[in-house]
Structure 1
Amino acid sequence: MRDFETTRRGALAAVAGLLATPALAQAWPDRPIRLVIPFPAGGPTDVYARFYAERMTAELGQSVVTENRGGAGGAIGAMEVARARPDGNTLLFGTASTHALYNLVTRQPQYDAAKDFQAVATLGGGPLCWLAHPGQPGTLADFLAKARTARPPLAYGSPGTGTLMHLATEILKREAGGVEINHIPYRGAAPAMNDLVAGTLALAVNTLGAGLALHQSGRARMLAVASAARAPQAPEVPTAAEALGRPGFTAVLWHAVFAPPGLPPAVLARLSAATNAALSDAAFRTRLNAAGIEPAAPGTPGSAAAYIAAEQARYRPIVEAIRPELDA
């Protein structure tokens, strides 16, 4: 009898939980939502996150408040969200760095990008571009030809070792036949851009949005953009695939929204639907394009997780190839 009573109570509790899920979805969000940006203010991730928060505030009828929690290459902010209550009130504006590259480049990672988060949606992001000093050759093909014979070797600057910009440029070098261009890691993109304009660097890599002003002012020349098609903001610049003759070559500093694991399915579904509504809005997409951001197509949490896993698999070979540099 006692076993029967225990079973009955367990069944009633389970049913109550199922009945509570729609109620939770209807009640949520009942207070402001915290969107953690795991990088300092002012960068491309911060810009997109604030656009997204503004749009989601309108979609959900509740304030979405951004909070910058930079440090350790995004790991500090990411871990804070992973440990938060899975109630939909704390979200992470993650990136390729925090969820495709972190577990690849970090020898002792403090979180598992797949297991410690619930993917909500991929949002698209900024395609990378390569910019040369105006005194360098004006096309990527000519720049690479010069690099093959330059002694000492030419150098390129990135925002840091193990960043997407670094890894994508190493892939570009291999796609170009293994050309030698030395890597100089900086503490962020801005110092690298300053040295490029000053002529200390021959080449630098950044996002399209960050590189457009330099290109348009003539202080640097954009040689290629790593998007699937030419960027409408700079249609004269070939894609990297065109310039290299390597169809399919792209590199995007993409963004995605994550929640702590264990998020109620109904809350996840509402978050996904609200994000898809934002990504389907023409005015929102136009605003992103103006900032050099390519928005993603609407999707599902499952498609987001699959995309992130594919990006990890894509960059794993280059990480293994340059492991000595990463560990230095």
Structure 2
Amino acid sequence: MPDFSPTRRALLASGGALLAAPSIAPAWAQDFPARPIRLVIPFPAGGPTDVYARFYSERMSRELGQPVVTENRGGAGGAIGSLEVARARPDGHTLLFGTASTHALYNLVTRQPQYDAQRDFQAVAMLGGGPLCWLAHPAQPATLTDFLAAARSAAPPLAYGSPGTGTLMHLATEIVKREGGGVPLNHIPYRGAAPAMNDLVAGTLALAVNTLGAGLPLHQGGRARMLAVASAARAPQAPDVPTAAEALGRPGFTAVLWHAVFAPPGLPAPVLARLSQASNAALADAAFRTSLAAAGIEAASPGTPESAATAIAAEVDRYRPIVEAIRPELDA
């Protein structure tokens, strides 16, 4: 899992806005929240982001004393919903439930981005998320080491499926290929994770990558075999499955589809502080963390807006080299 703790480098995402923001009277900040809060989820309903956002909105409603209402605004890989929040009035009543895709990878993989993920948003809180896992068809070797060894000599090359080109699942698997010595696996991009899982179970694919929460039912039901999970420690739900760091012999290797909350830039300091305080109270709550863990989600430790922005900037730096290495595939 990425290091979501404060570090020496604090990168604040409170710079220039996409549109000039209206001023906010100080009294508004003191009375915040004055009405229900709209939490925009920039992806369709039903995915791992949607699951976490609904847990979070329920807990934040209790903390803030106002309803936190989720709204799915999917499209353009998360850009439509993200842009809507970036252009909203910065009074704390419109927030974005962003992800690694919208705020670490978007500006790396998109040739003509519609927003700057660091400049056009104020980071509020890092929330953690779902570690990735690699699942093989039961006919394939039983360990990641053996699978990669078999893939090196397979003819034709074995194929792996991801939810799409440029997704975290795609990039993390490309890193695994390189960490495994340059394994010649063919990437098959799908329009979402579910079609890839269907083809994996049917035997069309040798390997697929998904979040832990989505992969567990297939693993536990014997329809696929989980070879590794990209968390810092073995998942309690599947203690027999090694971490990717263990399987690859690469200490510290993690890959997490993390989530974070963002506001439009120009958010008043008292409003930001109140949202941060409420998020930290949720993250510190044992019942909240237990509910997330049951869904395969690892909650981050409480932090600050500055530490959230720092962690996100570190993720951008981490994935930049692999994006540059596979740029021809991304531009095809």
For the aligned pair, the TM-score class normalised by the smaller chain equals: over 0.9
2:252 is aligned with what amino acid? G
AA aligned opposite 1:203 = L
Measure the CA separation in 2 of the matches of 1:283 and 1:24: 32
1:292 paired residue number: 296
Partner SS state of residue 143, structure 1: helix
Structure 1: where are the runs of 5+ without partners?
Answer: 1-16
**Mapping of residues 37-48 of structure 1, within 5 Å:** 37-48=41-52
Corresponding residue for 1:135?
139
2:119 to 112, 115, 118: 115
| Contact 1:69 1:76 survives alignment (8 Å) | yes
Q: Which residue of 2 aligns with 1:184?
A: 188
The structure whose Rg is larger is: 1
Question: Which of these residues, 144, 148, 172, is aligned with residue 144 of structure 1?
Answer: 148
Q: Please, which of 9, 28, 32 is the counterpart of residue 28 of structure 1?
A: 32
Give the corresponding residue for 2:235: 231
Distance of 2:166 and 2:73 partners within structure 1? 20
From 257, 278, 284, give the equivalent of 1:274: 278
Deviation at 1:321, TM superposition (A): 0.2
- 2:261 is matched with which residue? 257
Cα displacement (A) at 1:40: 0.2
Is there any run of 5+ residues in structure 2 with no aligned partner, and where? 1-22
With a CA cutoff of 8 Å and minimum separation of 6, indicate the structure with the bigger relative contact order.
2
TM-score (norm 2): 0.92
**Aligned letter for 2:299?**
P
Measured after TM superposition, the shift of residue 24 of structure 1 is: 2.8
Output aligned runs, 1:1-328, within 5 Å: 21=26, 23-328=27-332
Task: Give the AA of the match of 1:252.
Answer: V
SS of residue in 1 equivalent to 2:97? strand
Please report how far the alpha carbon of residue 30 of structure 1 lies from its aligned counterpart in structure 2 after TM superposition.
1.0
Q: CA deviation at 1:301?
A: 0.3
Q: Distance in 1 between matches of 2:38 and 2:295?
A: 24
Cα deviation for residue 159 of structure 1 reads: 0.1
Tell me the amino acid that sits aligned with residue 89 of structure 1.
H
Cα shift readout 1:90-125 (whole Å, capped 9, x = no counterpart): 000000000000000000000000000000000000
Whichever structure has more helix as a proportion of its residues is 1
Say whether the 8 Å CA contact 1:25–1:270 is kept in structure 2.
no
Q: Give the distance between the partners of 2:35 and 2:125, measured in 1 at CA.
A: 22
The residue type paired with residue 210 of structure 1 is: A
Deviations 1:157-209 (A, max 9, x none): 00000000000000010001111100000000000000000000000000000
**8 A Cα contact 2:29 2:91, kept in partner:** no
Question: Does structure 2 retain, via aligned residues, the 8 Å contact 1:140–1:224?
Answer: yes
Map Cα deviations across residues 10-58 of structure 1 (whole Å, 9 max, x no partner).
xxxxxxx99x63x333311111100000000000000000000000000
Equivalenced residue count is 310
3-state secondary structure, aligned to 1:119 = strand
Aligned to 2:15: none
Which secondary structure state, in structure 2, belongs to the residue aligned with residue 125 of structure 1? strand
For 2:182 and 2:322, the matched residues in 1 are separated by: 13
Aligned partners of 2:317 and 2:149: how far apart in 1?
30
Q: Which amino acid aligns with 1:111?
A: Y
Could you tell me whether the CA contact under 8 Å between 2:231 and 2:244 is conserved in 1?
yes
TM-score, normalised with respect to structure 1: 0.94
